[in-house]
Amino acid sequence: METMPKAKQRLFPVGVGHTCLSLAGILLLSSFALNIWAQKIGKPGGPKPGPPPGPKIGKKMPKKAPDSQPPGKPIIIRPNEGYLALATTSNATVSLMRLVTRRDRNDYQVSLNGVLNVPRLKPGSYRLEIRCDDYEPFTDTINIIKGEQTVLNLPLTAKYGTVMFGFGAQATRDIAVWLDGKEIASAKLRFEKDTLDITRVPVGLRQIRLSKPGYEDWSQQIEVKPGAVADNKISVAMIPATITLTVKSLPQADVYIDGLLRGGVGNDGALLIPDLEPGAHTLKVKLAGYQGVDRSLSLTIEKRAVTEVVNLISILETSEFNAGFKEDTKNWVKTWPQGWELTATPQRGLQVTGERVGLINNTTIPNQPFNHYGDFLLLLNVKFVNGKGAAWVVRAQDDKSYYLFELATSQSKSREKAWNFYICRDGNCMLKDSQPCLAEIEKPESHIRISLEARGNSFTLKIPSQGDRGAGPTFTDDTFRYGGIGLRTINSLEMFVTEFFIKPTVL
């Protein structure tokens, strides 16, 4: 029997020995395949990898220079291989393709902590691509150096930013948002008590408008930066929406809103009030010598400009008054004061004593308790019954608040001839001014004719029959601009009035 050469026996084993060798060959091939498989970790469609030798894929690398030694287990890089440690956006997809072959493209998933480690790379140039939803992709060429660790920090730039509005103490409910003219769906808005966040706003210059019922729209162009960064935080103060009210009435009339004086009507007959909030308000218009007008207003945001025309009715008398002092004319004062007495002999007139006020009351204007006068000329003819002088009332608001004038003699309380000017408020009369009287007013049984001309805040007194000596002072005051005219005494004087004439000055 011919014997087979030994070389051929090693190449072609037979029998039991043949079977063992075949098993050994299979184990050798399997070991080789595992090595190849370990270098393809992360390739889609491959088998689930077991733990490869060296650092774990996805394990965060220390933030040190590539040639530094991290604590713990050392990184082992074989002399003929490279190693990539990449820090980038979490959950991004990373693609590596060798430029030499234009093949061997492998995709990897970045871990949640934003780190990807790829060991056992063939040295050379690679095309690196990093992609992630809502981020700008990154592409570049990198070099993997034989036997070294390549460390890269390449975070992606977000395509969107989160715009954060702070409203301070203002509530954010009912706010609607427009981005570049289009309303943003509520799903993209995050509301808190005093903050509002808008997610997924495209990076770049954006026009944002905020709207809230009852408030002015807020609008601003902002540059949105990637992500939720401090540059995207904006403080907003929504301004309550206001209505402009124009009140048309007589010039110089005072206008009150909710009890507060807002100004006077101008010479053009109008007052502009630009800052009223929507809702219920009260309007009052007052002018000296006219009936005040009270009106309720209901302002709504749907009508941003409102005009109210207020017609004022004068309460000032325009007709002359001349008291005849007859028995049938007692009704020219509302309440006949105690101590007053009409006489017909020896001369017709009115005896006045006591300090109670009697005001002219024959008005034809509705709802007026007595005659009201603005500017006027008053003529009095009086006799000093007890030699102390005479007194009269003008611009009365009622029987307790008015101006009081006194022509006093040397027998009066002050013991000197003087024109005295008092202001009475709530029944208390205070002397405001006193000027000497040069006229002859102390002849026994004589009658003195006195004139008082009232114009605005000025009151000019005189005794016309005595020429220059009869010229009296001019007193001024702004307390009362219109009111009633009547009689009363002061400082225990008594007088007899034979003429009481009023001529209104109508402009």
pLDDT in tens, 86-139: 999 999 999 999 998 777 789 999 999 999 999 999 999 999 999 999 999 999
- In contact, 306 and 491? CB cutoff 8 Å: no
Q: Is residue 357 located within the same domain as residue 443?
A: yes
The CATH number of whichever domain residue 326 belongs to comes to 2.60.120.560
pLDDT at 493: 96
> Which of 200, 235, 270 marks a domain boundary?
235
Query: Is pLDDT larger for residue 349 or for residue 63?
Result: 349
Residue % of the chain over a pLDDT of 90: 67
Per-residue pLDDT tens for 419-438?
999 999 999 999 999 999 99
Residue 92's domain comprises 82-153
**Domain assignment present for 187:** yes
**Domain assignment present for 431:** yes
The CATH number of whichever domain residue 220 belongs to comes to 2.60.40
User: Looking up tokens 């509005």, which residue turns up?
Assistant: 165
Q: Is residue 490 located within the same domain as residue 367?
A: yes
Indicate the residue type of 167: F
User: How many Å is the Cα radius of gyration of the chain?
Assistant: 53
pLDDT at 66: 37
pLDDT at 472: 96
**Domain assignment present for 470:** yes
Q: Is residue 262 located within the same domain as residue 346?
A: no
Query: Is pLDDT larger for residue 4 or for residue 468?
Result: 468
Could you give the CA distance from residue 32 to residue 26 in angstroms, rounded to a whole number?
A: 10
Per-residue pLDDT tens for 20-58?
323 333 333 333 333 333 333 333 333 444 443 434 433
Whether residue 295 is predicted with pLDDT greater than 50 in this model: the reply is yes
Q: Is residue 328 located within the same domain as residue 286?
A: no
Q: Is residue 327 located within the same domain as residue 456?
A: yes
Q: Is residue 108 located within the same domain as residue 146?
A: yes
In the predicted model, what is the mean pLDDT of residues 462-483? 95
The CATH number of whichever domain residue 121 belongs to comes to 2.60.40.10
**Domain assignment present for 184:** yes
Number of domains in the chain: 4
- Please give the structure tokens belonging to residue 30: 């399997």
Could you give the CA distance from residue 364 to residue 279 in angstroms, rounded to a whole number?
A: 39
Kindly report the CA angle at 81 between 76 and 84, in degrees rounded to 5?
A: 75
**Domain assignment present for 47:** no
Could you give the CA distance from residue 337 to residue 278 in angstroms, rounded to a whole number?
A: 52
Give me the DSSP letters along 64-81: S-TTS--SSSPP---TT-
The CATH number of whichever domain residue 291 belongs to comes to 2.60.40.1120
pLDDT at 69: 38
Q: Is residue 487 located within the same domain as residue 418?
A: yes
**Domain assignment present for 8:** no
Could you give the CA distance from residue 484 to residue 69 in angstroms, rounded to a whole number?
A: 106
Q: Is residue 135 located within the same domain as residue 268?
A: no
Q: Is residue 476 located within the same domain as residue 348?
A: yes
Q: Is residue 347 located within the same domain as residue 468?
A: yes
Could you give the CA distance from residue 101 to residue 492 in angstroms, rounded to a whole number?
A: 129
pLDDT-derived band at 366 (thresholds 50, 70, 90) equals: confident
**Domain assignment present for 446:** yes
> Which pTM value belongs to this model?
0.55
Cα dihedral angle (464, 470, 476, 477), rounded to 10 degrees?
Answer: -80
pLDDT at 47: 41
pLDDT at 507: 63
pLDDT at 73: 62
Q: Is residue 345 located within the same domain as residue 492?
A: yes
405 φ, ψ (degrees, to nearest 5): -110, 140
> Which of 212, 235, 258 marks a domain boundary?
235
Question: Within 13 Å and on the Cβ side, how many CA atoms surround 498?
Answer: 14
> Which of 134, 153, 172 marks a domain boundary?
153
CB atoms within 10 A of CB 96: 20
- In contact, 268 and 199? CB cutoff 8 Å: no
Whether residue 326 is predicted with pLDDT greater than 80 in this model: the reply is no
Of 425, 362, 436, whose CA–CA distance to 396 is shortest? 425
Q: Is residue 191 located within the same domain as residue 251?
A: no
- Strand, coil or helix: what is 207? strand
**Domain assignment present for 59:** no
